[in-house]
Structure 1
Amino acid sequence: MTSSDPRFAALTPNEFAHLGDGVIAYVKTIKSEDAQRLFPQAPVIRPGLELFALLSADGSPIMLTDSKDAAIANAWQQELETVSLH
């Protein structure tokens, strides 16, 4: 693969920002102290808990849970492909 390969034409910033919309999601482990920032509508949660956020490809929050399995199951229910981030 090279940058001149037409299959990998440069994306505009807007196209790149929407890559995977409605198709791809990821699960991110967060601390309860950070939940309010991603999920402002969430109730106050006791500090120090490990939670799992399901986020769309662009980072928009979808759901918050205390179970990674529940986050993945929700993605499947919404026909979203989950990917791992490293």
Structure 2
Amino acid sequence: MNHKFEMNDAEDRLVYVKPVAVSDLPEEVQDQAGDLQTLFAVHDEEGQQLALVADRALAFELARQHDMHPVTVH
């Protein structure tokens, strides 16, 4: 069961997940965050933010549902 796999396809769908302090976000977003201190941002390889969600697990699930490969930013 050998199948060729194009690595370029996977790399094109790479997204980065990083924690973001709610206090660093615009006031409008802070108001919507409620009691949360940290949100998680999903970014493409060029750094454009694609999503902002409540927790890391949700960020990874969202990326996978859109056929993206999420990795954590250190």
Bucket of the pairwise TM-score, normalised by the shorter protein = 0.5 to 0.7
Instruction: State the partner residue of 1:53.
Output: 41
How far off its partner does 1:78 sit?
Answer: 0.9
1:1-86 to structure 2, matched below 5 A, reads 20-21=11-12, 23-36=13-26, 43-46=28-31, 49-86=37-74
How many pairs does the alignment contain?
61
Q: Which is richer in helix? A: 2
Q: What percentage of residue pairs aligned between the two structures are identical?
A: 26
How far off its partner does 1:85 sit?
Answer: 2.8
Tell me which stretches of 4 or more aligned residues in structure 1 moved more than 4 Å. none
TM-score (normalizing by structure 2): 0.66
Q: Secondary structure at the match of 1:43?
A: helix
Deviations 1:3-44 (A, max 9, x none): xxxxxxxxxxxxxxxxx44x11011100112233xxxxx933
TM-score (normalizing by structure 1): 0.58
Q: Which is richer in strand? A: 2
| Structure number with larger C-alpha Rg | 1
Which structure 1 residue ranges, 5 or more long, are not aligned? 1-19, 37-41
Q: Secondary structure at the match of 2:62?
A: helix
